[in-house]
Structure 1
Amino acid sequence: MSGGTIIVCGNLTITSMNFNAGTFYINSGFSLNFHTGGVNMGNATIVNYGTVTATGNITMQPVTFYNAIATSTFTVSGQLTLNNSSLLVNNGSFSAGTLLIQTSSVPALCLGTNSQNSLGSLFNNSDNSISAPSGNACIYVSTQTYLNPASLSTSATLQLCQAPTSTIGGPGGVGAATVYTNCIACSASLPVELLNFDAQLINRKAELTWETETEINSAYFSVQRSQNGQDFTEIGQRVAAGNSSTLLNYQFTDKDPYYGVSYYRLKQVDIDGSYVLSSIRTVYNAPLELISVFPNPAEDNLNLIMDSPRNMDIQLALYDNLGRLIKSEKIPVKTGFYSVSMDISTLAQAIYRLKITTEVTDEQLEYIFIKK
């Protein structure tokens, strides 16, 4: 097929086909079955109001597939591969033995509210490839999820339901999605309904707050922290309510967050040992705050006022507008507000860049000034 439109008003089975361009419309109550070893589709559109099945593998490069309504069903017994700018929109039920996402545009999979998605394996190679823009949507994975190397989603409404024997790995992360382990099905009751989870830096401490609307057999919340967003360790716990149908508020203070970015998540543990991981929140704890630099232009001295979280050494490096290092010195600073004066009287009149580094991170503060 190279162009044109096919409207399916019955039950159509295709055993051999080259699908290079064109449009399929499958009307409600009817079906389209690709009964082949494999189907390659390109530059095509499929709008499904009924049932579409494939007994082998399907490669879309690119294809736009609309599972248009809540009763629409799309089933692939083998592997579905989304390439190029392919897009699968599911408002109904979608299942596949394996879903491989390696698209050049995102999202590759757009999920409607309460849509059902069941996979044997999920392999994601595209950043933020799955979206649930309108409300809660769930993907059930029975065998494995591999995220390489990208983030799965920016949608906090996306739920990843990992079966008891399913594994999740790879250098990537789930992003804003919520992971449920020991999950029987997307329709299974969840032990805790988490309304919100927030993290803020207040007086150089990370203040974590969260609310639950309902809790069923909940044991405790494990508060976890990471410096890279991948490797988390527990820094504390809060006892959960067990069973509750009222709004409950929880709070935890991390008195010693990392300098730079700290990543936080909650591990809600049920009485039977099953657990759910929340989406990730971050706080930024500046290793050094540059409050003021004056005067500018400067003639003899450049004055710096800083706010330091601790006693430490800082490195001041001065560069000209060609990027050449002109002057460098190490200066001790004390906790709190601290002032430093830098002698620039011997410098030639020009524009200079001041770079400040600390001993606690590689992060740099920069300031441009004029020497008159």
Structure 2
Amino acid sequence: MKILLPRISLVAAFLCLLFTTRAQNPKIKCYFNHPVNNNLATGTNAIYLNGTFPDTIVAYINNAKYSLDIAVYNFTSRGNDSVAKIATAVNDAFARGVTVRWVYNGTSATANSGMKLLNAAIPRIGSPSGNGYNIMHNKFVVVDANSPDTNDAIVITGSYNFSQQQTFGDYNNLLIVQDQNVALAYQNQFNKMWGGAGAAPDSSKSTFGTFKTPSSKNYFNVGGTQVQVRFSPSDTAGYYLRTMAYTANNDLTFGIYTFTDNSLANAILSKFNSGISVRGIMDGSSKSYNPYTTLSTPLGANMAVFNNNNLLYHNKILVVDALLPSSDPQVATGSFNWTSSAQYTNDENLLIIHDAAIANQYYQSICDNITVNGGNACIAPLPVEWVSFDASLNSNGTATLQWVTANEVNNDHFEIERSTDGIVFENDGNVANGKTGDYQFIDKKVEAGANYFRIKQVDDDGYFTYSKVLSVYNRTGATISLYPNPALDKLNILLPLGAVSVSVYDAYGTKVIQQPVKGKPATQINVNALSKGSYYIEILGKGSKFIKPFIKQ
């Protein structure tokens, strides 16, 4: 279903960010090595590169002027195949004076036979093995990170290892980001494994796995697109992937190789149970893990399984709201499998990209993967255009929802859904299709505290999609609410009427944070610096005191 929301406003206690449909960001490109379904495009067609991933990488390597930093889990080549040209391009770059550095997985999990094709003078270092280490599972290339021309800096990443099977058989994606700050973040991660910024590795200073320190910066603006970069295990990538799943307002789609994280499976299941469209595909090797058991029966044919003893469904992709540009469409990709090893021991990278065009291109790819492997077809964009959607609390405790649509085709009716937790929604009433496209609904079931609203638009044939979720806060008779709990870095607090100050106390009763909140309906506290453990919030008002516990992860 195609829903375009050029603007969304929220007349309530909270501010709502504005998202608009826009063209492809020229600084971010994605490619796929299996066919895609361009019938699902909402703007830019996804691009299928049939066996030419190596050529794409070589083109960027050939443009390198100053430096090449390569961290790839596995490079397998016989020397007379299509991926051998990557070694040739790297050798040529080295010969013309480009500083080349290469990090590879040093455990017995990979042979890395293609490394033999490299000029012996090219510096390299393998990840260590033994206690405390697992695998170096990254797949990225950084080109000219420190170039005086910021347009030279490139990051190539995704799920692709350098091999014939990964090129022609296994399912993979390739992501290109042209941004110097992102390139420097990847180079900084590389330098941790390398042991410094020099041309030669320093094994006495190199750090892998759990020995690495957290990244200093995780959020970047790439040509107007927010890009989040997380490296495992130091940047708690799994937490942010689960958080992303919970933001889905309309649709959630996934394609994953190894899936053992049942907390993420439960997040996906909760969105499915709330009425959101969920489609997915996983590799057959994951059928023995809990997430398959959690999702297979509820999703049924909405989740396909790639069963092939010789090939892999090797993507690691999560997409939310690819069909709802007015929400916050996102795609997560990289080397990060959804496993405890990826979260806590491996060297991995994960990107979360907030971009409607990119999210929809990944949607085109995954959906084709699903259907050719026996799964149900994904929902296609449908012709309903939303102009605005507002929610406001009235003085009598009711809420007014107003929305405007245009270009309605085959629209049957709207269903108003409300929730007190933003997860489980119930129907509060229906509104029939109108001729003017201007709608209003008065909800008389508003409860004390937070109330979340969304509009379910239903077509004549039964297909439906959801608007963005808006919230109003009824402070009359409300008690405090904390989320997320447990909290990792930010704790949001919905305040009762008359609140004056908020304090955080540790388990020993020591006040560790205090801030004024007079006149505010809500506040946010930065708890990132707190140690892991149990804490409690104390909210003081005129003649009142509220106490509520929370956990710092």
Asked whether the two chains share a fold, i.e. TM above 0.5, the reply is no
Higher-Rg structure is 1
Taking structure 2 as the reference length, the TM-score comes to: 0.29
Greater strand percent: which structure?
1
Taking structure 1 as the reference length, the TM-score comes to: 0.41
Greater helix percent: which structure?
2
